[in-house]
């Protein structure tokens, strides 16, 4: 379709987005680009699935309900608030 000049009317501008017209990308080139992109996506999906199968997930550790926070030492003065006299 290289020898046929495109009629640039309202339908043409609706059909072709601006970025494709600027780079002179025709429908044939656009179709090839879409095929390459979909093939790359499918290849990536197959690769991710195989990676997921290799790694086995273990159950997460669940903290017990009776775990308490460590008690403050009575002798340490770092965490104590200053006492007001009065």
Question: Splitting the chain (86 residues) into consecutive groups of 10 residues, what average pLDDT does each group show?
Answer: 67 71 75 86 71 60 62 56 59
Q: Where do the H-state alpha helices sit in the chain?
A: 10-15, 18-22, 27-54
- The pLDDT assigned to 28 comes to 79
Q: What is the distance between the alpha carbons of residues 21 and 85, in angstroms, rounded to a whole number?
A: 82
Q: What's residue 2's pLDDT?
A: 57
Under 8 Å between Cβ of 30 and 20: yes
């Amino acid at each position: 379709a290289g020898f046929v000049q495109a009629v640039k009317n309202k339908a043409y501008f609706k059909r072709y987005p601006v970025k494709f017209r600027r780079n002179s990308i025709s429908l044939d080139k656009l179709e090839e680009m879409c095929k390459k992109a979909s093939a790359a996506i499918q290849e990536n999906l197959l690769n991710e699935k195989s990676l997921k199968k290799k790694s086995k997930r273990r159950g997460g550790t669940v903290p017990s309900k009776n775990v308490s926070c460590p008690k403050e030492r009575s002798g340490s003065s770092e965490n104590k608030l200053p006492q007001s006299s009065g």
